[in-house]
Amino acid sequence: MKKQKKKVMFICSVGGHLTQMLQLKSIFNNYNYLLVTEKTDVTKDLKKDYNIKYFKYCNGKKFFSYLFTNIINAFNSIFTFIKFRPDVIVSTGANTSVPMCYLGKLFGKKVIFIESFAKSRGKTLSGKLVYPIATIFVVQWESMLEYYPKAKFWGGIY
């Protein structure tokens, strides 16, 4: 009997978070994977190369729009989680990923969070929120161990 591949969800916001996540693309096909990010003009063509699910783009410049979009994306997280049923959730952060990380934890799944390469001092909001529940929390700068003492320093993913 052939062993089934683990189901891994790679989830992140657009921009630098997605750029960092795509540095891991060489391992995507080792798994039954789903890449989840926000739909923008920049990301719409990713559908050609990746098994991808889009959430609504979330921009923090307009507070009420931002809040409403985050609520919509939180509900999308529930439906996406139930449909895909990941064994592991890997995130490089921001808006779309935090609710999914909490869903994973709630259902006993492994949550791997990779703190932003852009942060060598201080914590990101998504890092602060996911750190307490992450199975593995990875920092890309050794100096970040001061802020996240239980984290793993594996170096940069670039």
Q: Is the dihedral of CA 11, 79, 41, 97 positive or negative?
A: negative
The answer to whether 77 touches 83, Cβ cutoff 8 Å, is: no
pLDDT tens string, the chain, 158 residues long: the values are: 678 899 999 999 999 999 999 999 999 999 999 999 999 999 999 999 999 999 999 877 788 888 899 899 999 999 999 999 999 999 999 988 999 999 999 999 999 999 999 999 999 999 999 999 999 999 999 999 999 999 999 999 87
**The token pair that represents 114 in the structure block:** 């990779």
Task: Please give the domain boundaries of the chain with CATH numbers for all domains.
Answer: 7-153 (3.40.50.2000)
The Cα-based distances of 149 to 2, 102, 135 in angstroms read: 40, 21, 14
One-character DSSP codes across 58-103: --TTSHHHHHHHHHHHHHHHHHHHHHH--SEEEEEESTTHHHHHHH
Model confidence, pTM: 0.94
User: pLDDT (tens digit, 9 = 90+) per residue, 58-87?
Assistant: 877 788 888 899 899 999 999 999 999 999
Check if the beta carbon of residue 148 is closer than 8 Å to that of residue 137: yes
Token readout for 90 is 């890997």
